[in-house]
Amino acid sequence: MARRALKIISWTSMALASSGFYLYSNKYLDPNDFGAIRIGRAVATTAVISYDYLTSLRSVPYGSEEYAQLKSKVHRRSAERLRELCCANRGTFIKVGQHLGALDYLLPEEYTSTLKVLHSQAPQSSMQEIQQVIREDLGKEIQDLFQSFEDTPLGAASLAQVHKAVLYDGRTVAVKVQHPKVQAQSSKDILLMEVPRIYWELSTRRVLLMEFVEGGQVNDKAYMEKNQIDVNEISQQLGRMYSEMIFVNGFVHCDPHPGNVLVRKCPGTGKVEIILLDHGLYQILTDKFRLDYCHLWQALIKADMKRVKKYSQRLGAGDLYPLFACMLTARSWDSVNKGIGRAPVTANEDVEIRNNAATYLPQISQLLSKVPRQMLLILKTNDLLRGIETALSARASASSFLSMSRCCTRALAAHKKKKTCSLLRRTQISLEESLSLWQINLHELFLRVRGSWLGNWIFALLYWLSPTPH
C-alpha cells in the first residue's frame, strides 16, 4: 500500500520538478524565489501533501470504490494546497502552476481543474497599487487619462494584470499594468507576428496600453460551439502555427497556456483567428538545434527508429532516447515504433502514458538535465499544446503530426538549397520536396478514409513510394 501511495505522490513531484527545471535552467526564476520564507512554504506544502497521501490511503483496499473516491479527495486537497502555494509565493510559482493546469493529458483532473484558475485569475494587485504604478510611470491620475477604467481586472497573471478602459477620444483599450514588486524582465519586446496595436504614447516600462481584442480561450469548447467555431480547425491551425515557429522560423512563443491564446471569428470577414497574448517568453533556436529537431520529427513520423536514436542522441538524450521520443510525442513506445502519424491516440494509450509518467520520474529528471536549454522550453510548449488538444477533444487526430511533417520538409529543403549554388541541385531538391509534400497529402487522405478498400490501397502505395531516408 505504501508503494501505491508513493506512486501517487510522484505525480506532484514529477510535475513540480520538471516544470521548475524548465524555468530554473533558463534563468526565468525570480531572484527572490530562494528566500527562506518562499522555500519554507514550498517544503511545508510538499511535506503535507506527501503525509496526506501516505496516511489517507493506507488502510483502504487498493482498487476498491472507496479507494477511488478517497484518492480523488486527496488529489483535490493536494491540488488546492499547490494552488495556495502558488498564490502565496507568486511570480515563478504561478507560472509553474499555470503549466500544471494545462497538462490535461497527463495529470489527474482534480489537479488540472483546480490549477486552471491561475491562467487568468492569479492573485491581483489592489486598485491602490495599480493607481500608484500608473501615477509613477505616466505622471497622471487614472481619471485624467481615461474616461472610464474598470476596477476589476479582466485577468491577472504572474507578472501583470489587465484592465479594460476607455480613452477620452472614445478608443477602448486594454491596460496591462505590471505588479508593483515585479522587476523588469527584459529591455525590449521581440515580435514574431502582428500583435494587438500598442499605444506607445501612453505606455511605459510598467504600463502597456493596447488595442482591445475580444475572444474566447482556446480551450473553451462552449464558446466555440456558441460561435460556431470548429474545434478541429482550431487544433489544426494551432499546430500549423507552432510548427512554423519551431521548424521554419526558429522563433517560438513559449507560453501558450489557454489564458494566452484566444480564438474568435473576425468581425469583418467571419474568418476564424487565433490570437496570441503575452509575448514575454520566447525561445530563439539555433540552426543546428532546429535542423536536428526537424530530422528527429521526420524520423518519428516515419517510424525510422535508427534515425530516431541518432537525432535524439544529437539532442542530448543519450541512451534515454526511447523515453525522449515518448516525451516529445506524448505517445507510448509501441506507438512510436509503429509510427505516430499512422494511428490515433486511444484511451488505453492515454492510461498507459499516465501510469508510465509517474514510474519513470527518475529517468525523466535525468533526461531533463542532459538536453540543451532550448529543448526545455520546447518541451514545456509541447506539454501546453497537448493539453489544449485534450481539452478540445482533438488529441485523437493525427493531423497535428502531418502539419509538423510538412514544416519539417519545407525547413530541410530550404536549408539544402542554401548550401548549394547549383541550379540543377536546387531543382532536384524542389522536386524531392514536392514529392514528400504530395506523400503527406496522400497520407492525410488515407487517415480520412482508413478502413475502406481505398484507404488500404493508399497505405500500401505510401509504403511503396516512401524514399529511403538520407
| Residue position matching grid coordinates 486598485 | 127
Please tell me the predicted confidence (pLDDT) of residue 341: 64
Q: Reply yes or no on whether the pLDDT at 7 is more than 70.
A: no
Please tell me the predicted confidence (pLDDT) of residue 186: 32
3-state secondary structure of 208: strand
Task: Specify whether the CB–CB gap between 272 and 231 falls below 8 A.
Answer: no
Q: Which helix (H) or strand (E) holds 209?
A: strand 207-211
More confident residue, 87 or 167: 167
Mean pLDDT of the chain: 78
3-state secondary structure of 105: coil
Q: Order across the sheet with 216-217: list the strands.
A: 216-217, 261-265, 272-276
Task: Quickly state the pLDDT bin for 306 (edges 50, 70, 90).
Answer: very high
Burial of 271 (0-12, 13-18, 19+ CB in 10 A): exposed
Please tell me the predicted confidence (pLDDT) of residue 395: 62
Task: Quickly state the pLDDT bin for 335 (edges 50, 70, 90).
Answer: confident
Distance CA 432, CA 434 (A): 5
Q: Reply yes or no on whether the pLDDT at 307 is more than 90.
A: yes
Please tell me the predicted confidence (pLDDT) of residue 64: 84
Q: How confident is the model over 35-46, as a mean pLDDT? A: 77
Q: Which of 220-229, 407-416, 428-437, 460-469 has the lowest mean pLDDT?
A: 460-469
Q: Which of 3-12, 184-193, 294-303 has the lowest mean pLDDT?
A: 184-193
Taken as a whole, the chain contains a residue count of: 470
Please tell me the predicted confidence (pLDDT) of residue 428: 92
Q: Which of 263, 250, 179 is nearest to 219 (CA)?
A: 263
Distance CA 248, CA 234 (A): 20
Q: What is the 3-state secondary structure (H, E, C) of 275-337?
A: EECCCCCEEECCHHHHHHHHHHHHHHHHCCHHHHHHHHHHCCCHHHHHHHHHHHHCCCHHHHH
Q: Reply yes or no on whether the pLDDT at 119 is more than 60.
A: yes
pLDDT in tens, 370-420: 888 888 888 888 877 777 877 777 665 556 677 888 899 999 999 999 888
Most confident of 60-64, 79-83, 117-121, 360-364: 79-83
Q: For the chain, what is the total number of helices (H) and then of strands (E)? A: 19, 10
Q: Which of 101-105, 251-255, 299-303, 393-397 has the lowest mean pLDDT?
A: 393-397
Q: Which of 59, 5, 6, 117 is nearest to 361 (CA)?
A: 6
Q: How confident is the model over 242-264, as a mean pLDDT? A: 87
Task: Specify whether the CB–CB gap between 154 and 174 falls below 8 A.
Answer: yes
Task: Specify whether the CB–CB gap between 392 and 235 falls below 8 A.
Answer: yes
Task: Quickly state the pLDDT bin for 91 (edges 50, 70, 90).
Answer: low
Q: Reply yes or no on whether the pLDDT at 17 is more than 80.
A: no
Task: Give first-to-last CA distance, the chain, whole Å.
Answer: 51
More confident residue, 105 or 310: 310
Q: Reply yes or no on whether the pLDDT at 105 is more than 70.
A: no
Q: Reply yes or no on whether the pLDDT at 144 is more than 80.
A: yes
Q: Count of alpha carbons within 13 Å of 467, Cβ hemisphere only? A: 13
The pTM of this model reads 0.59
Q: Transcribe 232-256 into DSSP letters.
A: HHHHHHHHHHHHIIIIII-EEE---
| Sign, CA torsion 134/137/141/144 | negative
Query: Annotated active-site positions, please?
Result: 255
**34 φ/ψ angles, rounded to the nearest 5 degrees:** -100, 15
Distance CA 190, CA 26 (A): 17
Residues 6 or more apart in contact with residue 470 via CB below 8 angstroms: none
Q: Reply yes or no on whether the pLDDT at 22 is more than 50.
A: no
Task: Specify whether the CB–CB gap between 181 and 146 falls below 8 A.
Answer: no
Task: Quickly state the pLDDT bin for 191 (edges 50, 70, 90).
Answer: very low
Catalogue the long-range contacts made by 27-34 (C-beta closer than 8 Å, 24 or more residues apart).
Answer: 28/92, 28/95, 28/281, 29/92, 30/91, 30/92, 30/183, 31/183, 32/91, 33/89, 33/91, 33/92, 33/93
Please tell me the predicted confidence (pLDDT) of residue 214: 83
Residue 383: other Cβ atoms inside 10 A: 24
Q: Reply yes or no on whether the pLDDT at 447 is more than 70.
A: no
Please tell me the predicted confidence (pLDDT) of residue 151: 92
| CA distances in angstroms from 39 to 29, 34, 89, 326, listed in the order given | 13, 6, 9, 32
Please tell me the predicted confidence (pLDDT) of residue 24: 34
Q: How confident is the model over 288-299, as a mean pLDDT? A: 92
Q: How confident is the model over 307-320, as a mean pLDDT? A: 93
Q: How confident is the model over 433-447, as a mean pLDDT? A: 78
Task: Quickly state the pLDDT bin for 168 (edges 50, 70, 90).
Answer: very high
Q: Which of 205-214, 272-281, 329-338, 395-404 has the lowest mean pLDDT?
A: 395-404
Burial of 69 (0-12, 13-18, 19+ CB in 10 A): exposed
Q: How confident is the model over 13-42, as a mean pLDDT? A: 49
Buried b (16+ CB within 10 A) or exposed e, 120-152: bebbebeeeebbebbeeebeeebeebbeebeee
Q: Reply yes or no on whether the pLDDT at 155 is more than 80.
A: no
Q: Reply yes or no on whether the pLDDT at 82 is more than 80.
A: yes
Please tell me the predicted confidence (pLDDT) of residue 183: 45
| Residue position matching grid coordinates 504600463 | 207
Task: Quickly state the pLDDT bin for 160 (edges 50, 70, 90).
Answer: confident
Task: Quickly state the pLDDT bin for 291 (edges 50, 70, 90).
Answer: very high
More confident residue, 221 or 341: 221
